[in-house]
């Protein structure tokens, strides 16, 4: 993180800043004034601490001398080394945790004066966090939101470095500090498994933690599903002492999460099981979803106010059966925060959706829906909705998952094939979006091959296109009156709606 107006307000001397670290060794120590913290040698400025982290592809310890040349006055790392006499080196047991602790202290622990809501899960993080933000906006004009799409601070939005769902620790604390400076008291935040496993949110304390669901994803990063689960579960050890956990009771992993909780401060939501809060009388249309939210037991706010069992009628102006779950989670979060049921209802019914989350981008002679669905859970959620819609023919354009391994592409292909009869799917167009993805997201031959083989085995016609533009033009050529064109996949499709607008 480059030095900025927030960082300029925070000037520390090194001895005070490192006081809480687990320091193993200090070499050539001097009590320098510190103006900046970073783990990127190219972002080092005069008076910086450079924290060397051994990553999966790059080892920050290899860039120690570059950081010093760029102005770093102190180097923190895990490895034993004998630095030159003019280099200050501090050896710690864990560089990632050290970075998070340094960032928290450098920015004066901004979360301590805020109500922080964290959302984790395989699918639903972006929409749930955005729904919570919409609810809070009914009573507070200035709110914060950190997630996949951007960071929102009041009425301004900022892109996230490296397209991370949860930014690195320094960026995260800098943005929370900026919120605090803008007198923002509430922040909703997506918390990814990567962020939890890599200690980006280490030490951060949440008032509310929400679990949406868990299924296969990020198999390139998590060696096992249990490792994925354990990473997600970390969020709930980051709750404040009076913090509240909110769990999807319809998900198989909730029972384990509840048994691992330190406290009994939790509520459950669901559709299929008898949760604390459930959805009843569900009706889905192209215009949205109507349902009743039924509170089955007393809910207690953070301010100890009791909300009695009752029924609240909701009309969501967005598509997606799965969005009922997201709305239930956001509803409970609103209650726990002490927001009135009337304002919670307004926040949900005024929520117009999130870009590329079951987004209806065209609905005239034919229909186009754009969805970020890119794993079995989100694809299932999408198809649960699509099966309720009326259409003549369905054409899918699917962005393959690049460099995520053959397993996730095999799972996605098998799930699409399993749904093909119910959806009456006869044809699918895949795209690698070659010109629109970074090198680390380039689709490998084996990934495309395994997806193609499984789809073909189920007698579904498949056409593989290298570029997004060609795939979209082909898809548009194939749809006629009352057909449905469904766009599925991750960031490679982010510009698809703009391209379609130029074609129609």
- Identify the structural domains of the chain with CATH numbers, from first to last: 5-106 (3.40.1390.10), 110-349 (3.40.1190.10), 359-503 (3.90.190.20)
Residue 148 confidence class, pLDDT cut points 50, 70, 90: confident
Question: Contact at 8 Å (CB) between 2 and 45?
Answer: yes
Tell whether the model's pLDDT for residue 4 goes beyond 60: no
Rounded to whole angstroms, the Cα distance separating 333 from 328 reads 9
Rounded to whole angstroms, the Cα distance separating 414 from 406 reads 12
Share of the chain above pLDDT 70, in %: 96
Taking residues 262-274, what's their average pLDDT? 91
Rounded to whole angstroms, the Cα distance separating 445 from 44 reads 38
The three-state secondary structure class of 55 is coil
Taking residues 129-142, what's their average pLDDT? 98
Residue 187 burial (10 A CB sphere; 0-12, 13-18, 19+)? buried
Q: Which of 336, 389, 333, 331 is nearest to 358 (CA)?
A: 389
The alpha carbon of residue 165 and the mean position of all alpha carbons in its chain are separated, in whole angstroms, by: 4
Residue 53 confidence class, pLDDT cut points 50, 70, 90: very high
**H-type helices in 192-310, by residue range?**
193-197, 225-233, 254-260
Pairwise pLDDT comparison (101 vs 123), residue with the higher score = 101
Q: Where are the beta strands (DSSP E) in 263-348?
A: 266-270, 277-285, 288-295, 299-300, 306-307, 311-316
Question: Contact at 8 Å (CB) between 244 and 132?
Answer: no
- The mean predicted confidence, pLDDT, of the chain is 93
* DSSP 8-state secondary structure symbol assigned to residue 436: G
Question: Contact at 8 Å (CB) between 216 and 411?
Answer: yes
The alpha-carbon radius of gyration of the chain (Å, integer) is 24
pLDDT given at position 474: 97
Q: What is the sign, positive or negative, of the torsion defined by CA atoms of 109, 110, 115, 119?
A: negative
> Which of 179-183, 208-212, 354-358 has the least mean pLDDT?
354-358
pLDDT given at position 224: 86
CB count in 10 Å sphere of residue 463: 16
Rounded to whole angstroms, the Cα distance separating 344 from 31 reads 51
Taking residues 267-282, what's their average pLDDT? 95
Q: How far lies 294's CA from each of 69, 177, 424, 428, in Å?
A: 62, 38, 35, 40
Rounded to whole angstroms, the Cα distance separating 464 from 456 reads 12
Pairwise pLDDT comparison (225 vs 50), residue with the higher score = 50
Residue 495 burial (10 A CB sphere; 0-12, 13-18, 19+)? middle
The three-state secondary structure class of 422 is helix
pLDDT given at position 2: 37
Taking residues 380-407, what's their average pLDDT? 91
pTM: 0.89
pLDDT given at position 200: 95
Residue 222 confidence class, pLDDT cut points 50, 70, 90: low
Rounded to whole angstroms, the Cα distance separating 228 from 197 reads 9
Tell whether the model's pLDDT for residue 8 goes beyond 60: no
Residue 181 burial (10 A CB sphere; 0-12, 13-18, 19+)? middle
Rounded to whole angstroms, the Cα distance separating 256 from 235 reads 14
Label each residue of 61-88 as H, E or C.
HHHHHHHHHCCEEEEEECCCCCCCCCCC
Q: What is the sign, positive or negative, of the torsion defined by CA atoms of 315, 321, 327, 328?
A: positive
């Amino acid at each position: 993180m480059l030095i900025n107006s927030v960082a300029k307000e925070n000037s520390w001397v090194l001895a005070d800043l490192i006081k809480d670290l687990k320091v193993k060794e200090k070499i050539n120590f001097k009590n320098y004034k510190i103006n900046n913290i970073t783990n990127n040698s190219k972002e080092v400025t005069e008076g910086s601490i450079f924290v060397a982290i051994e990553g999966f592809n790059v080892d920050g310890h290899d860039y120690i001398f570059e950081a010093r040349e760029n102005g770093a006055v102190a180097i923190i790392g895990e490895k034993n080394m004998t630095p030159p006499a003019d280099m200050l080196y501090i050896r710690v047991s864990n560089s990632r945790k050290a970075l998070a602790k340094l960032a928290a202290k450098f920015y004066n622990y901004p979360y301590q004066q805020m109500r922080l809501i964290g959302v984790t899960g395989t699918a639903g993080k972006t929409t749930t966090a955005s729904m919570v933000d919409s609810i809070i906006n009914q009573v507070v004009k200035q709110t914060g939101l950190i997630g996949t799409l951007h960071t929102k601070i009041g009425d301004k939005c900022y892109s996230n470095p490296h397209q991370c769902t949860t930014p690195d620790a320094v960026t995260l604390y800098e943005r929370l500090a900026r919120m605090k400076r803008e007198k923002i008291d509430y922040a909703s935040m997506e918390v990814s498994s990567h962020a939890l496993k890599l200690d980006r949110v280490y030490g951060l304390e949440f008032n509310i933690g929400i679990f949406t669901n868990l299924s296969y994803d990020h198999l390139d990063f998590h060696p096992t599903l249990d490792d994925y689960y354990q990473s997600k579960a970390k969020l709930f050890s980051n709750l404040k002492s009076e913090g509240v956990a909110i769990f999807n009771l319809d998900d198989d992993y909730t029972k384990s999460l509840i048994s691992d909780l330190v406290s009994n401060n939790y509520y459950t939501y669901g559709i299929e099981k008898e949760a604390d809060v459930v959805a009843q009388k569900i009706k889905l249309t192209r215009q949205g979803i109507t349902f009743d939210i039924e509170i089955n037991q007393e809910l207690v706010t953070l301010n100890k106010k009791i909300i009695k069992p009752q029924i609240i009628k909701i009309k969501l102006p967005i598509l997606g059966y799965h969005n009922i779950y997201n709305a239930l989670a956001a509803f409970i979060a609103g209650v726990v925060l002490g927001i009135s049921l009337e304002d919670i209802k307004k926040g949900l019914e005024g929520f117009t959706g999130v870009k590329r989350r079951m987004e209806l981008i065209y609905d005239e002679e034919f229909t186009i829906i754009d969805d970020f669905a890119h794993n079995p859970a989100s694809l299932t959620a999408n198809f649960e909705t699509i099966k309720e819609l009326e259409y003549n023919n369905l054409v899918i354009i699917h962005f393959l998952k690049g460099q995520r391994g053959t397993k996730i592409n095999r799972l996605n292909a098998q799930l699409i094939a399993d749904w093909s009869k119910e959806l009456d799917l006869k044809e699918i167009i895949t795209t690698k979006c070659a010109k629109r993805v970074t090198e680390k997201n380039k689709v490998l031959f084996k990934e495309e091959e395994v997806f193609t083989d499984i789809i073909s085995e189920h007698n579904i016609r498949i056409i593989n296109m290298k570029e997004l533009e060609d795939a979209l033009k082909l898809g548009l050529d194939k749809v006629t009156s009352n057909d449905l064109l469904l766009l599925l996949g991750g960031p490679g499709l982010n510009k698809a709606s703009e391209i379609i607008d130029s074609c129609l």
